[in-house]
A = this chain, B = another copy of it.
Amino acid sequence: MSTMHDVAQRAGVSLKTVSRVVNGEPNVSEQTRQKVDAAIAELDFRPNSVARNLRTGRIDLVGLALPHLSQPYFSSLAEEIMREAERLGLTVLIELTEGDAEAELALVREHGPHLGGLLMYPVGLSDAQALTVARTVPTVFISERAYDAPVDRVAMANREGVRALVGHMVSLGYTRIAALGADHTGRPERAAAHLRLEGYRDGLRDAGLPYLPDLVLEVGTPHWNRQEGATGMRRLIQAGTPFDAVVAFADALALGALHALQEAGVRVPAEVAVAGFDDTDDARYAHPSLTSIAPGRAQIAREALALLNDRMNGTVERESGRLVVADHQLTVRESTLGGTAAWGGA
A residues neighboring B (CB under 8 Å): 1, 46, 48-51, 53-54, 59, 68-70, 72, 75-76, 78-79, 82-83, 91-94, 96, 109-111, 113-114, 225-227, 230, 256, 259, 263, 281-282, 285, 287, 343-344
Contact = CB atoms under 8 A, between A and B. Distances in A.
Contacts of A68: 79
A285 B226 contact: yes
This protein's copies in its complex: 2
A95 to B, nearest CB: 8
Nearest to A112: B46
Contacts of A91: 93, 111
Contacts of A46: 109-110, 113
B69 A69 contact: yes
Contacts of A225: 285
B114 A96 contact: no
Nearest to A83: B96
B79 A70 contact: yes
A230 B344 contact: yes
A114 B285 contact: no
Nearest to A109: B46
A68 to B, nearest CB: 7
A256 B342 CA distance: 13
B343 A259 contact: yes
